[in-house]
Structure 1
Amino acid sequence: MNGKHISKLGFENKAIGLALSAASLREGAGAGREEILNELRGVQAAPQEYAAGGVYAALAAHLLEQHAKAEAKKGVALYEKPLPYGVWGADLIESGARAQMDVAMRLPISRAGALMPDAHVGYGLPIGGVLATEGAVIPYGVGVDIGCSMMLSVLPVAPEKLATEEAGALLLKHTRFGAGVGFDKREREDHAVLHDPAWQDQAILRHLFDKAVAQIGSSGSGNHFVEFGTLTLNQPDEGLEAGTYLAILSHSGSRGFGAQVAGHFTGLAQKLHPNLDKAAQKLAWLPLEGEDGQAYWQAMTLAGQYALANHELLHARLARALGVKPLMQASNSHNLAWKQRVNGQELIVHRKGATPAAAGQLGLIPGSMAAAGYLVRGRGHPEALASASHGAGRQLGRKAAANTLNKKDVQAYLKREGVTLIGGGIDEAPQAYKRIQDVLARQSDLVDIVAEFRPRVVRMDTGSEDV
């Protein structure tokens, strides 16, 4: 068997190479030339039937990607009207976010969706948008900060035992914030995620590995935070007695690593769909079974694991400094895509600023730097695609907050709430966010509240103007 035999079937150069590799394996297993040629004709006719595995899987994945590119060049027609989708807290959601969700629900790959009460305008899919697609993943449906997530540690310490000054000193010593910031080499800690072989599977991951090493255990800018506060349970749950505990709550993501992965694969998706309707260009997708789709899924998964690793190291540092071990921990990602069964079909569910809330699943929904956050348990609502809000959600954009809010008013608000802030810009002021109680009230059918967290000492990156 040689390339001439295969080229007669109409395969292009790369496909010929993949076909030859597969043919060699089949010959080694005792298959004859005509048998192999017939098998290759079968792969050519229905590559989707061979993509799941076997000697022809790589060839099938390549053919599927080539088919997708050919279809993209013809242009992609959106549905005339958006598919129906559930909306929670419609009275809290700006029209721009609804318009973005409407466009997402017109994509030919879309099958179901939902909009959470903290929703506001984002890039591509709105923040607070949940979108289920068939056979495709949308990089901007996941978001730029891939794997952005929450973590809670409940400590065996009475809240009054940790003075405000000591809590502040611990946060300053054991946390790092801001773009490009990480721990000094002497302070940097190792984590299993840095030894994942996936780092060597793609050029972009190899390129970003050193950045990931340098930033491991640190936090980003914007609305990322680490807080000492009090967690109150009104009844026993998760192995804890009812009562009030000292706790750590953090919000952070995959740092510069995740952002560059998002940008790289969004570019590939947009090249794949050059004639996509202008309103949907930031929702360009990658076929999941294609090479680029598989590469994105691997990178996205790694970024999600890396984001959680940052939380784990951060919480371990603070607990170690206090000389304790957490009584209980909970965490969840809210910028990720999952394979999930929806109405009996496996779909790709994108949650961009939305908390997974399957029946019985724990999740964390924070408020603002001075508002309560909540440990919740999901109810698995099918029309919400088993999701809930990921926070209170902005009611003022960053520029609007910086231009309209008064620094003295924000400081007075923090003082009334008994919150000490380290860093934090006026663009992250509590007044820039919706009331968390209003947001929770609109999703009582999506989650049950397990415990309330009240921030007391908060550290964030410095903003455009510090509070």
Structure 2
Amino acid sequence: MAQIKTKELSKIGYTNNQTRSLVINIVAKHFKHTEKTEIIQLLQNIKSDPQAYLHDEVIAPIAKTFIDEPVECNFQSFSLLETTGQLSIFGGKTIEHSAKQQMETAMSLPITVQGALMPDAHSGYGLPIGGVLATNNAVIPYAVGVDIGCRMALSIIDEGESFLKRYAYQTKLALKEFTHFGISGSIGIQQEHEVLDSDAFKATLLLRQLHGKAVIQLGSSGTGNHFVEFGLITLAEDNILGLPAKEYLALLSHSGSRGLGANIAQHYTQIAMNSCKLPKSAQHLAWLDLNSEAGQEYWLSMNLAGDYAKACHDRIHANLLKALGLKAITKVENHHNFAWKDTLADGQEVIIHRKGATPAHKGELGIIPGSMTTPAYLVSGTGIERSLYSAAHGAGRSMSRKRAREHMTVSALKKIVADAGVTLIGGSVEENPFAYKDIETVMTAQRELVQVEGQFLPKIVRMYKE
């Protein structure tokens, strides 16, 4: 049986990962008894004259990858508007100019219907962090983000501050034993969740290849601003949860879809950039038509990554609560870094991308964190359409990670944390509280977008250690 290796394909000009995967699958299925030299010659012929093979049912999918059919993207200029119109900006005075420029570029795409910029916004790749974009039947992988389905999860427990004082050692030990942070690795204990049995993992070659990594990383967290922490939440009077307005113990986590989401993002961004040719300033905003095969594959993969991110939080919370003999009385969670099908007030169906933004339809619950020493807020959305039913997803960075390293020492960070009455396990100077905007300023800038249902104060925080 002839087997073609990726190195052999690279030598004859098959350098695109999607094309190579396609070739390997087709050869294994349809050319089992063909000599390798003949297959190599055929592949060279396809690359030289792909048009000649477009009517061959078996070969056509390979040939199509060599035919460049760029999408015509005629740019238009849009003016930035502070609060009304096509683009709405909330808390504009605290948003850096580069983030606004990125959003303006996104607004000029021919697929764009409406946009919004949240008060925690700062520049990123493609769409700025804190950018929300509604498009017409198209999805932009980089407007979703690399960490697909990154999300917040909050478990509220019917205990108070006395539990943390009495069981501080056990709580810290549980956080060390049942969480893992980093690009690779796992918590070291076999994790199970129904998401691992999803048929979606069998839908594409890429997802089949990533299943093993997903099994290993289930229940773990990434680097950067990801965290798992215990703290105290005070619920407001007449809160939407219907719970008594008092102080509760709570477990709060922030992380995403790990290597699964990162690989999906990388793979489909490259496909989008290869098929949708845009000027250099906008090339990371390349999109996939949802009617296309690649668009449908990405949509399925993105949703699987979102389900997997939720599963990671499910395991984190289940492991920690079980270890401490605790039980949640309610749980609140929400995605950011995702795209949803939605309908605007005029009835138009759109795809809403939230890259670092919290869904905030009327009555929809979400969590907006500050930093390792500042409050997080449990909120309910008010359903404002000009924000595309969205709110901030956090305080937002005021310093780049490089600048944060230059302006903070480990000893100074330890003092800040201690003065705030917080115990930090791990952590990095890149994530120091001064690297972020003031969460109160961000919340004030979006008063019309969300209603505060409770305030969470971190007490024992676990983060990635460099």
Work out the CA distance in 2 between the residues paired with 1:247 and 1:236: 19
Change (3 A) 1:277 1:122: same
Aligned to 2:343: 341
Aligned to 2:13: none
Contact 1:109–1:134 (CA under 8 A) maintained in structure 2 = yes
The answer as to 2:423 corresponding to 1:446 is no
Q: TM-score, normalised by structure 2?
A: 0.83
2:284 to 277, 282, 291: 282
Contact 2:155–2:328 (CA under 8 A) maintained in structure 1 = yes
Pick which of 230-239 and 141-150 moved more. 230-239
Aligned to 1:193: 195
Q: How much does 1:157 deviate?
A: 1.8
Equivalent positions of 1:214-233 (< 5 A) are 214-233=216-235
Deviations 1:362-395 (A, max 9, x none): 0000000111001000001010000000000000
Which AA in structure 1 matches 2:413? V
Deviations 1:207-254 (A, max 9, x none): 110000000011111100000000101324313211111100000000
The answer as to 2:185 corresponding to 1:181 is yes
Work out the CA distance in 1 between the residues paired with 2:220 and 2:145: 20
Contact 2:89–2:117 (CA under 8 A) maintained in structure 1 = yes
Q: Secondary structure at the match of 1:173?
A: helix
Among the aligned pairs, what percent are the same residue? Answer: 47
Work out the CA distance in 1 between the residues paired with 2:94 and 2:139: 28
Work out the CA distance in 1 between the residues paired with 2:79 and 2:328: 46
The answer as to 2:400 corresponding to 1:397 is yes
Equivalent positions of 1:133-212 (< 5 A) are 133-163=135-165, 164-184=168-188, 187-212=189-214
Q: Where does the alignment leave 5 or more consecutive residues of structure 2 unmatched? A: 1-50, 81-85
Q: Secondary structure at the match of 2:328?
A: coil
Q: How much does 1:193 deviate?
A: 0.5
Q: Secondary structure at the match of 2:253?
A: strand
Q: Secondary structure at the match of 2:69?
A: helix
Equivalent positions of 1:411-450 (< 5 A) are 411-450=414-453
Q: Where does the alignment leave 5 or more consecutive residues of structure 1 unmatched? A: 1-10, 19-58
Deviation beyond 6 Å, 4+ runs, structure 1: none
The answer as to 2:355 corresponding to 1:352 is yes
Which AA in structure 2 matches 1:400? R
Q: How much does 1:398 deviate?
A: 0.2
Work out the CA distance in 1 between the residues paired with 2:391 and 2:100: 17
Work out the CA distance in 1 between the residues paired with 2:442 and 2:404: 20
Aligned to 1:70: 69
Aligned length: 403
Q: Secondary structure at the match of 2:417?
A: helix
Work out the CA distance in 1 between the residues paired with 2:424 and 2:272: 41
Work out the CA distance in 1 between the residues paired with 2:398 and 2:347: 37
Contact 1:233–1:451 (CA under 8 A) maintained in structure 2 = yes
Work out the CA distance in 2 between the residues paired with 1:16 and 1:344: 42
Work out the CA distance in 2 between the residues paired with 1:452 and 1:247: 11
Deviations 1:257-305 (A, max 9, x none): 100100000000000023x111100000000110000000000000001
Aligned to 2:275: 272
Work out the CA distance in 2 between the residues paired with 1:93 and 1:12: 53
Equivalent positions of 1:13-32 (< 5 A) are 17=57
Equivalent positions of 1:220-369 (< 5 A) are 220-237=222-239, 238-274=241-277, 276-342=278-344, 343-369=346-372
Q: How much does 1:69 deviate?
A: 6.0
Change (3 A) 1:314 1:401: same
Aligned to 1:26: none
Aligned to 1:458: 461
The answer as to 2:78 corresponding to 1:81 is yes
Q: Secondary structure at the match of 1:162?
A: helix
Work out the CA distance in 2 between the residues paired with 1:273 and 1:175: 40
Contact 2:149–2:306 (CA under 8 A) maintained in structure 1 = yes
Aligned to 1:54: none
Contact 2:70–2:275 (CA under 8 A) maintained in structure 1 = no
Which AA in structure 2 matches 1:354? A
Contact 2:144–2:339 (CA under 8 A) maintained in structure 1 = yes
Contact 2:226–2:464 (CA under 8 A) maintained in structure 1 = yes
Change (3 A) 1:155 1:352: same
Aligned to 1:112: 114
Which AA in structure 1 matches 2:194? A
Which AA in structure 2 matches 1:79? Q
Contact 2:170–2:324 (CA under 8 A) maintained in structure 1 = no
Contact 1:69–1:273 (CA under 8 A) maintained in structure 2 = no
Q: How much does 1:77 deviate?
A: 2.0
Work out the CA distance in 2 between the residues paired with 1:322 and 1:155: 12
Contact 1:82–1:105 (CA under 8 A) maintained in structure 2 = no
Q: How big is the alpha-carbon RMSD for the aligned residues of Structure 1 and Structure 2?
A: 2.0
Work out the CA distance in 2 between the residues paired with 1:216 and 1:414: 30
